């Protein structure tokens, strides 16, 4: 297969544009994090996790740490999806061994003030744009810089319920009792996310990923209005200002049919790619989605904890399935865990870069 005609363009960008390339690029969700001793040392300087995310020098260091160890094709900016609720006036605390706790949205009178917080968001999250600029300046042109945001539905999960992993009773109750309020909140999030992603792109991000980690918790009868349409609107907003910039959507735990409907929606810009959770069958995705949309994923992060051999077998299988067709990016189906063995990452990156289509 031909090598990309623009050698300085990041390999990740060529893959997202579904150009023929010699081998798929690789980056890993949560590639910066607690499995790296150098991350834990840096983190120890910041009792407050959000403050860490909003300190450009420290965040740039954390962003670059995995790229200093591994030959990855992209850096993902070190920040968190919860920076948006934080910037809109719902501060986030990270409690050790418990995860994030957002100052919850509890009554409808809190909606109107949120609508007037976009200028605050631009000011409070300006350090993230600075991290993008510093990261871009530190890396050679062939490595991509990815910006990211949470999606409206997932951010509402955290704004209304403390632990979405244990269910979203408050969100579901409000959706029953005041569906218009949930739509209004979703609109606020669409504006906030668009603004935040535009800031990251203006600062030099190659592409952006939108994490809808809890999309699978959305009731089927609300899927169109709370997940599908808001994601389409954000992608359209980005395409209007950055027509050639890819956007990667990660609607985790969505049904295969919902994913297919979204991918086939003619109003979704052609620059949109899909990151696949571990729940998705890669053979299906490669046959069904990959002819028209780039796909990314979906290695089980559990394999990064165990022995080398099962990882190698699973990666060979993935590469042989999706690697021969343009539009494939190697990644996990969810983030690296703190238990990850750093040696497994070395082996994975080497294997991907050595692979060629038969
Ligand atoms: O390397 C990267 O991927 C970039 C940075 C990044 C972080 N969080 C840093 C982080 C990214 C892209 C995220 C996204 C994120 N944050 C998501 C979407 C992806 C997913 O996992 O589904 C979600 C749901 C969050 C919210 C969040 N942040 C949770 C639930 C937690 C606690 C769980 C945990 O692992 O501790 C975090 C904390 C967090 N975000 C850490 C890191 C490195 C660990 C915090 C620490 O150092 O103590």
pLDDT in tens, 75-90: 999 999 999 999 999 9
pLDDT at 262 over 60: yes
Geometric angle at alpha carbon 233, from 227 and 237, rounded to 5°:
145
Which pLDDT score is estimated for 26? 98
pLDDT band for 8, please (50, 70, 90 cuts). Answer: confident
Render pLDDT for 164-184 as a digit per residue (tens, 0 to 9): 999 999 999 999 999 999 999
pTM > 0.85: yes
Compute the distance from residue 79 Cα to the ligand 1 centre, in Å.
Answer: 8
Average pLDDT over residues 209-235: 98
- Residue 108 vs residues 83, 97, 117, 157, 180: alpha-carbon distances, Å: 22, 31, 16, 16, 10
Q: Which residues fall within 8 angstroms of residue 260, CB to CB, at 6 or more apart?
A: 288, 289
Tell me how far CA of residue 169 lies from CA of 75, 99, 296, in angstroms: 36, 19, 31
Q: What percent of the chain has pLDDT over 90?
A: 96
pLDDT of residue 221: 96
In DSSP notation, 274-317 reads: EEE-TTS-HHHHHHHTTTTS-EEEEE-GGGGTS-HHHHHHHHHH
**With 60 as the cut, is the pLDDT of residue 3 above it?**
no
pLDDT tens digit sequence for 141-166? 999 999 999 999 999 999 999 999 99
d(CA 65, CA 37): 10
- Of residues 215, 219, 229, the one with CA closest to residue 175: 219
Ligand 1 atom, smallest distance to 148 CA: 12
Protein residue with least CA distance to atom 11, ligand 1: 80
Average pLDDT of the residues in 129-142 = 98
Per-residue pLDDT, averaged over 263-286, amounts to 98
Q: How far apart are CA 167 and CA 148, in angstroms?
A: 24
Q: What is the pLDDT of residues 19-58, one digit of tens each?
A: 999 999 999 999 999 999 999 999 999 999 999 999 999 9
Rounded to whole angstroms, how far apart are CA atoms 206 and 199? 12
Q: How far is the CA of 63 from the centre of ligand 1 (A)?
A: 13
Task: Kindly list the distances between the CA atom of residue 286 and the CA atoms of 191, 210, 218, 239, 330, in Å, as whole numbers in the listed order.
Answer: 33, 21, 25, 25, 13
pLDDT band for position 6 (50/70/90)?
low
Ligand 1 is surrounded, with C-beta below 6 A, by 29-34, 43, 49, 76, 78-82, 94, 99-100, 148, 211, 213, 335
Tell me the best of 27, 30, 145, 197 to mutate to test the pocket of ligand 1, counting ligand atoms within 8 Å of each CB and taking the most: 30
H helix or E strand, kind and range, residue 104: none
| Residue 98: band (very low, low, confident or very high) from pLDDT cuts 50, 70, 90 | confident
Question: Crossing angle for the helix pair 342-354 and 308-322, nearest 10 degrees?
Answer: 30
**Residue 336 structure tokens:** 């690296």
Average pLDDT over residues 2-20: 82
Please provide the average confidence, as pLDDT, over all residues in the chain.
96
Q: What is the band of 1 on the pLDDT scale with cuts at 50, 70, 90?
A: very low
CA 336/CA 282 separation, integer angstroms: 19
Check pLDDT > 90 for residue 287: yes
pLDDT tens digits, one per residue of 319-328? 999 999 999 9
Q: Quick one: average pLDDT of 189-203?
A: 98
Mean per-residue pLDDT for 201-219?
Answer: 98
Report how far residue 36's alpha carbon sits from residue 206's, in angstroms, rounded to the nearest whole number: 25
> Which residue puts its alpha carbon closest to atom 13 of ligand 1?
80
Tell me the pLDDT band of 97, cut-offs 50, 70 and 90: confident
Q: How far is the CA of 357 from the centre of ligand 1 (A)?
A: 34
**C-alpha 30 to ligand 1 mean position (Å):** 7
């Amino acid at each position: 297969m031909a090598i990309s005609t623009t050698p300085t363009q990041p390999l990740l960008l060529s893959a997202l544009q579904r150009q023929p390339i010699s081998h798929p690029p690789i980056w890993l969700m949560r590639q910066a994090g607690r499995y790296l001793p150098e991350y834990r040392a840096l983190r120890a300087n910041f009792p407050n996790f959000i403050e860490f995310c909003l300190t450009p020098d420290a965040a740039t260091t954390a962003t670059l740490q995995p790229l200093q160890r591994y030959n990855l094709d992209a850096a993902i900016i070190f920040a968190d999806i919860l920076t948006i609720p934080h910037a809109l006036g719902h501060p986030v605390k990270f409690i050790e061994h418990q995860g994030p706790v957002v100052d919850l949205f509890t009554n409808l009178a809190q909606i109107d003030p949120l609508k007037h917080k976009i200028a605050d968001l631009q000011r409070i999250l300006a350090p993230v744009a600075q991290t993008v600029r510093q990261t871009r300046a530190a890396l050679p042109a062939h490595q991509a810089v990815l910006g990211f945001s949470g999606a409206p539905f997932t951010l509402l999960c955290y704004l209304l319920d403390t632990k979405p992993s244990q269910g979203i009773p408050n969100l579901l109750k409000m959706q029953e009792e005041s569906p218009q309020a949930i739509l209004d909140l979703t609109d606020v999030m669409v504006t906030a996310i668009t603004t935040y992603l535009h800031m990251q792109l203006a600062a030099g991000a190659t592409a952006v990923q939108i994490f809808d980690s809890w999309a699978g918790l959305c009731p089927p009868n609300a899927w169109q209005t709370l997940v599908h349409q808001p994601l389409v609107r954000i992608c359209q907003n980005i395409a209007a200002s950055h027509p050639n910039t890819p956007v990667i959507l990660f609607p985790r735990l969505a049904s295969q049919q919902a994913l297919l409907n979204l991918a086939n929606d003619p109003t979704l810009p052609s620059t949109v790619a899909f990151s696949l959770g571990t729940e998705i069958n890669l053979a299906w995705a490669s046959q069904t989605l990959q002819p028209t949309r780039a796909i990314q994923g979906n290695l089980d992060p559990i394999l990064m904890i165990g022995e080398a051999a099962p990882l190698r077998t699973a990666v060979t299988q993935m590469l042989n399935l999706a690697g021969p067709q343009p539009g494939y990016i190697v990644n996990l189906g969810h983030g690296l865990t703190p238990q990850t063995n750093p040696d497994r990452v070395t082996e994975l990156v080497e294997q991907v870069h050595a692979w060629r289509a038969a």
